[in-house]
Structure 1
Amino acid sequence: MAKSVRRKLRQMERVRIRSAEERVQQILDERTERLAARRDAASAPAEALPRALVCGAGRERFGIPVDGVAEVLPSQNCTPVPGGPPALIGLLGRSGRLVSVIDLGLALGLEPSSADIENRHFVLLRREQPQVALRVERAYTVADILPLTGEEAAGFRNDAVTGYGKIQSGRADQDETLSLLDIDRLLRPFLPSSSLSGV
């Protein structure tokens, strides 16, 4: 009986040793998997932030998607359009083509922050027919935009505003919230529906 008890104790000891070895091996395998997953995550390309032209209209800042902007021009005299909507401030000639100029602030229902029309900019949009430029109070910079989510991004006050964001620079003086614009939605009231993409 004593021999059988000793034999059972030895078997239990071997099982315990094997179990400890198995646990060590399991821990090493788990660590290896975690390190491999971390390396995969580090090598995956970071999600690109949207780039936008940051403009001022009224007392606010707006982001116009860079891929929708052809050129930023100094303000010019426009030929008024009789009977046109108030936001359509006129027409100008550009490379032999007529360009409709829409005041961004008026199109969004904002009051101008200053009467200084001389220092404003025109943002020529990248579209074929009809060509459109937005008059803004100032075109500041092209920047990567960090979109806001959750409560910070709730409650768009205008159909043309698709979200809110902040300039991704880390500078405290540029911690202002921007309204991100959808150009097609902004232009919808001013253009025939056949000239808008996606309509």
Structure 2
Amino acid sequence: MAKSLRRKLRQLDRTRLLSAEERTRFILDERTERLASRPGDRTEPVADVTRVLICGAGHEHYGIPLDRIAEILPFRPPMPVPGGPAALMGVLGRGGHLVSVIDLGAALGQGPSDTDGANRHLVLLRREQPRVALCVDRAHEVADVTRLASETTGDFRKDAVMGYAKAASGFADQERVLSLLDVDRLLHPFLSSSPAPGV
């Protein structure tokens, strides 16, 4: 292609049919045509979108992967378990099974929530044994969020946080960036030393 263009320019130069300005326009037109006909070798990066339940715990917002959630329930006080970890609020019965209730804020090192039960929710996780519900200050909405790229993978504030994401719209008039939770890592400290049956 470049050889044929040079040949054409030599022929034009010999005959002096075109001025310098016309030759420049001719070259630019040829280049534009070549670029337009070239197959696209650049592809737009595909956004890493995850569907989550956005919840509040303390002053933070978290995304729990939707495929890990069985049900969202209104808060009801669980029966305390003596000698259990600080984040374990207690157990409650649901459908003939014991469900351990873990305070999400306390499990993430924020301390127990001081929000009254009226606005709180229980997020029942999709798992058989033991059954676990996370107590959150508020379950805001189910949304598709876009993962934010991270320079290093170990740079998260908490072990249970597997990344950060941005919601398409603001939730509860707050910032749109939230922490994505790894449910297995969150529950690991509680499952490795169960103080009570069903926990």
When the two structures are superposed, what TM-score results if normalisation uses the length of structure 1? 0.72
Q: 1:162 to 1:77 in 2, by over 3 A?
A: same
Measured in 1, the distance between the counterparts of 2:92 and 2:56 equals 22
RMSD: 3.5
State whether residues 150 and 163 of structure 2, in contact with CA within 8 Å, keep that contact through their aligned partners in structure 1: no
Post-superposition CA distance 1:31-62 (Å, at most 9, x none): 211xx428x958x9x54511211111111111
Q: 1:93 to 1:165 in 2, by over 3 A?
A: same
State whether residues 167 and 174 of structure 1, in contact with CA within 8 Å, keep that contact through their aligned partners in structure 2: no
- Offset at 1:163? 1.5
% identical equivalent positions: 52
The answer to whether 1:37 aligns with 2:43 is no
- Offset at 1:116? 0.8
Measured in 2, the distance between the counterparts of 1:174 and 1:59 equals 10
Query: What is aligned with 1:117?
Result: 117
Query: What is aligned with 2:3?
Result: none
What amino acid maps onto 1:16 in structure 2?
R
Query: What is aligned with 1:28?
Result: 33
Q: 1:105 to 1:31 in 2, by over 3 A?
A: same
1:158 is paired with a residue whose SS is coil
When the two structures are superposed, what TM-score results if normalisation uses the length of structure 2? 0.72
What amino acid maps onto 1:184 in structure 2?
D
State whether residues 105 and 113 of structure 2, in contact with CA within 8 Å, keep that contact through their aligned partners in structure 1: no
- Offset at 1:133? 0.4
Q: 1:150 to 1:32 in 2, by over 3 A?
A: same
Post-superposition CA distance 1:68-114 (Å, at most 9, x none): 11111001131221221111111111122111111101111113553
2:122 is paired with a residue whose SS is strand
Alignment coverage as a number of residue pairs: 176
Q: Is the deviation greater in 181-190 or in 106-115?
A: 106-115
- Offset at 1:162? 1.4
Post-superposition CA distance 1:94-144 (Å, at most 9, x none): 122111111101111113553412321000011121111000111001112
Query: What is aligned with 1:148?
Result: 148
The answer to whether 1:16 aligns with 2:10 is yes
Measured in 1, the distance between the counterparts of 2:180 and 2:192 equals 23
Which structure carries more helix by proportion?
1
Alignment of 1:99-178 (within 5 A): 99-112=99-112, 114-150=114-150, 155-169=155-169, 173-178=173-178
Q: Is the deviation greater in 121-130 or in 156-165?
A: 156-165
Query: What is aligned with 1:9?
Result: none
* Higher gyration radius (CA): 1
Measured in 2, the distance between the counterparts of 1:77 and 1:170 equals 30
Runs of 4+ in 1 over 6 A off after TM superposition: 18-26
